[in-house]
Amino acid sequence: MTAPSRLYGLLAQFPSPERLVEATHAAHEAGYRRFDAYSPYPVPDLFPTAARGWGHYLLRGIAFLAVVGGAGAAYLLQYWTSVVDYPINVGGRPLHSWPMFLPSAILLAILGGSVAAAGGLLMLSGLPRLHHPVFNSPHFARTTEDSFYLCIEASDTRFDPERTRAFLASLAPERLEEVPW
């Protein structure tokens, strides 16, 4: 006797990109928030604007904090070493010469922001992911050729196996199947 596998979600196959767009809008209007659509090429208007979430704002915030942190850390390090820790009077110049501190502060701001944006993008995207549960579907390989899929995840708060299956069946997909974890 085999142990029952956990359910990742329900996967519905649609014949055209237009039907997939209609299905994603219907899923969002029905209150589902944890779903994803798969197609062999980019489809305009696939997700409603409200379904895109707060990820892009969060990524901007992460990058902004890294920019401010990188510039601030570089400036404070130079200030501490030149003014407080080891002051050297060279030719009567002031110890706190802020124009001298700016180039490296700007460079570390750019470096910190770009590294944080790349790391935040990977983190928010869930990458690197070497195996996704939808790959367990035997028909999912056709996505790269001519199939359009909508997967509603079991982690969604509105997910109920019977009701979600009935909802997806009401959208008249070509195929509807369970995706094991």
The yes-or-no verdict on residue 2 having pLDDT over 50 is no
* Tens of pLDDT, residues 12-54: 999 999 999 999 999 989 999 889 899 998 888 887 655 566 6
CA distances from 84 to 26, 87, 90, 132, 151 (A): 63, 6, 15, 54, 59
* Tens of pLDDT, residues 63-117: 999 999 999 999 999 999 999 999 988 888 888 988 999 999 999 999 999 999 9
Query: What CA–CA distance (Å, rounded) separates 127 from 115?
Result: 15
CATH number at residue 30: 3.30.70
Q: Is residue 98 part of a domain?
A: yes
Q: Considering only CA atoms, which of 168, 181, 180 is closest in space to residue 12?
A: 168
What residues does 175 pair with on adjacent strands? 13
Q: Are residues 47 and 61 in the same domain?
A: no
Q: Are residues 40 and 77 in the same domain?
A: no
User: How high is the pLDDT of residue 61?
Assistant: 93
User: Span 119-127, mean pLDDT?
Assistant: 87
User: How high is the pLDDT of residue 181?
Assistant: 83
The yes-or-no verdict on residue 150 having pLDDT over 70 is yes
Long-range contacts from 18-23, C-beta under 8 angstroms, 24+ separation? 19/148, 19/171, 20/46, 20/148, 20/149, 20/150, 21/45, 21/46, 22/171, 23/150, 23/168, 23/171, 23/173
* Alpha helix (H) residue ranges in the chain: 17-29, 55-79, 98-125, 161-170
Question: How many domains does the chain contain in total?
Answer: 2
Q: Are residues 25 and 87 in the same domain?
A: no
Q: Considering only CA atoms, which of 137, 142, 78 is closest in space to residue 107?
A: 78
Q: Considering only CA atoms, which of 38, 2, 40, 4 is closest in space to residue 21?
A: 38
User: How high is the pLDDT of residue 141?
Assistant: 83
Highest mean pLDDT among 2-11, 108-117, 143-152: 108-117
Residue type, 112: G
Domain extent for 66: 55-125
User: How high is the pLDDT of residue 47?
Assistant: 72
User: How high is the pLDDT of residue 52?
Assistant: 60
Q: Are residues 119 and 75 in the same domain?
A: yes
